[in-house]
Amino acid sequence: MKRIQALALAFIACASLAACAVDPDLGTRFRAERALWDANAEVQRLSIRPELVSEATWHKAVDMFSAIPTQYPVKGKGETATELKTVHAHALLSAARIYGTLGDSVSMLDVYARIESQYQDLPVVTGEVAFARGRLAESQSDWTGALAAYQEAMARVAPRSGDPGVAGAIIELPLRMARIRVMASHDSTMAARHQAYREAETYYHGMIAKADTLTALDARAYMADVAADQNEWDEAASQLKALEKMLGGMKPPPRDPASARLALSQLEVRSEAPADEVQGTLRSLIKDYPESPFAAQAQFALAYSYTQNGNTDQALAALDAVAGTKNVPEDLAGQALLLKAQILDHTGKWTDAQQILAALPVDHPLSEAALLAPIEVVRHYERAGDTEGAQAALAKAETAYRDFLNRYPTGPVSVMAQEKLARTLAQEKRYDLAVAEFVRLGEALGQHPAGAQYLAAAAQLALQQLGDTTRAAEILDRTATQYANRKVGQWASQEAARLRKGPQ
């Protein structure tokens, strides 16, 4: 009996010691992390078909995130308490992101203000808020606000390449800020441009010298962009060559060294270097990195360059090489076939071109080129002055887009297909249907800026082609409701009012 008592006392003593050692926030932090996971999973689920989700459901998701800090309060002061506060802040950031998606920038800024006041001791979180504020300001063309917010984000968060969070995005900011300064200054002289890029240059030079290898590699790539933006082509080329050399010396390289060579060829195109020089760089890439996925891209770029020079035989050979490469991305394979069809059409081999254009939607159904193929047929008949053929091709294009949308009703390629359908209908002069398609597309895109463009296009068609002022005003009203907190929404509201008043 005494032995059992002694054992029980020893157990209680051990348990008490353990209780002192364990942080009081540990269990709460675990439950808060679980609640955040659940809320994120819910948002992911809703994001599969966002067009089917009501605003009330999104607000419920916001509530899930916003409730986390109050449901799981911080008790202690240790490391776990900081982790728990980070969970709170991330939950609020997610809530702000949903407000952003809903276009409710007022609530979004409220949440940001709450984070900034409550989590000042978490630099990564406040840095993320500053970064988000910068993006918002940039989208509203508030250049001064954007520059100040980005500067704050950079001061709070150290850059770390490859990081999926804000630390991974920080390294791009000096270049972005320099571009904003150029845009904001309205001074197109080279001296003003140099002035705008000076800070970025100093920053990237410092990064190349100091940072860990991955960040230094990224800094070199951005340094090339900085130089190219100032038309300092030799400096940009030398940075890209140094980048390729660094990548080539690493085992395994964090990025394909061929990417730097491809960037060099793009730089040459941008600097309007002679075609021979561009083609030489692309050929050297194909020779030096035959197994690289960038080799197929280089072949396509080479084909494009040959086409520009009128060298169709070599262009066709390069395009065949793209088709012969293993595991070519769907889009690149489609683009290569489309370019081949265009070359064949221009060289009078319409039957061969037609075969390729007919096969494209079958062989690469989800590529952009497959959606452009029916339009290419229409263009051929228009160029040939064959009105009947063009009309028939337009009808075929319409059927092709409708078939595609039946098979793939959602996704980014479907948005493209719907846009092409609307434009085809407009070209067929079936304006009523075209307006309906543009409206459907604009509404489906929710808060995306492109949605406003499609709604505006629908209003314009209704007004100019159908002469239906009431319908145009209605569409503009819908745009105003959909983009209530944005400039475009205000513009649409004013335009609708102007239309209703009639010509002054």
Partner 1 sequence: MNLFRAAGMVVWAVRSAAACALRARIWVPFLVIAGIQILALVIVMNFHRGLLTPLVVPVIKGLSGPGVTHYPNFYLLLPVVFSRLSLLLSVLVTCIMVGAAIVLFAQAFGRAEHLKPWKTARKRYPALFIATAILAAGLFAVPYLGRLVPQETLLENSMVRWAARGVLFFLSILFQSLLVYAAAWILLRNEHALRAVGDSMKLTRSTFVPTFVLVALPAVLLYPLGFLSSRSDLFLNKFRPEALAGIILLQIFLELLFGFLLVGAITRIFIYQTEEAA
**Residue numbers of the site for partner 1 (CB under 8 A)?**
15, 18-22, 26-31, 33-34, 37, 41
Q: Which is nearer to partner 1, 26 or 323 (CB)?
A: 26
> With DSSP H G I counted as helix, E B as strand and the rest as coil, what are the percentages for the chain, rounded to 5?
80, 0, 20
> CB 434 → partner 1: shortest distance, Å?
42
Q: Which is nearer to partner 1, 16 or 355 (CB)?
A: 16
- Give the Cα separation of 306 and 316 in Å (integer): 9
Measured over the CA atoms of residue 116, residue 122, residue 123 and residue 128, the dihedral's sign is: negative
> CB 124 → partner 1: shortest distance, Å?
17
- Give the Cα separation of 366 and 449 in Å (integer): 23
- Give the Cα separation of 130 and 91 in Å (integer): 16
> CB 26 → partner 1: shortest distance, Å?
6
- Give the Cα separation of 475 and 334 in Å (integer): 36
Radius of gyration of the chain (CA): 29
Q: Which is nearer to partner 1, 36 or 228 (CB)?
A: 36
Q: Which is nearer to partner 1, 68 or 111 (CB)?
A: 68
| 444's tokens | 């489906």
Phi first, then psi: what are they for 352, rounded to 5°? -65, -40
| 57's tokens | 């459901």
Q: Which is nearer to partner 1, 34 or 194 (CB)?
A: 34
Cα–Cα distances (Å) from 106 to 100, 115, 152, 485, in that order, read: 9, 14, 21, 8
Q: Which is nearer to partner 1, 30 or 143 (CB)?
A: 30
> CB 81 → partner 1: shortest distance, Å?
14
> CB 260 → partner 1: shortest distance, Å?
24
> CB 113 → partner 1: shortest distance, Å?
28
Q: Which is nearer to partner 1, 32 or 227 (CB)?
A: 32
CA dihedral of residues 253, 257, 258, 262 (deg, nearest 10): 140
Residue with tokens 């309205």: 186
- Give the Cα separation of 295 and 225 in Å (integer): 22
| 186's tokens | 């309205």
Q: Which is nearer to partner 1, 8 or 15 (CB)?
A: 15
Q: Which is nearer to partner 1, 21 or 56 (CB)?
A: 21
CA atoms within 13 A on the CB side of 120: 2
Is the preceding peptide bond at 257 cis, omega within 30 degrees of 0? no
> CB 33 → partner 1: shortest distance, Å?
4
Q: Which is nearer to partner 1, 61 or 170 (CB)?
A: 61
| 489's tokens | 């929404």
> CB 382 → partner 1: shortest distance, Å?
49
Assign 3-class secondary structure to 437-475.
Answer: HHHHHHHHCCCCHHHHHHHHHHHHHHHHCCCCHHHHHHH
Q: Which is nearer to partner 1, 44 or 504 (CB)?
A: 44
> CB 148 → partner 1: shortest distance, Å?
35
Residue with tokens 């895109």: 445
Q: Which is nearer to partner 1, 252 or 310 (CB)?
A: 252
> CB 42 → partner 1: shortest distance, Å?
12
SS3 state at 184? helix
CA dihedral of residues 58, 59, 65, 68 (deg, nearest 10): -150
> CB 59 → partner 1: shortest distance, Å?
24
CA atoms within 13 A on the CB side of 261: 27
Q: Are 489 and 483 in contact (CB under 8 A)?
A: yes
| 85's tokens | 């506060």
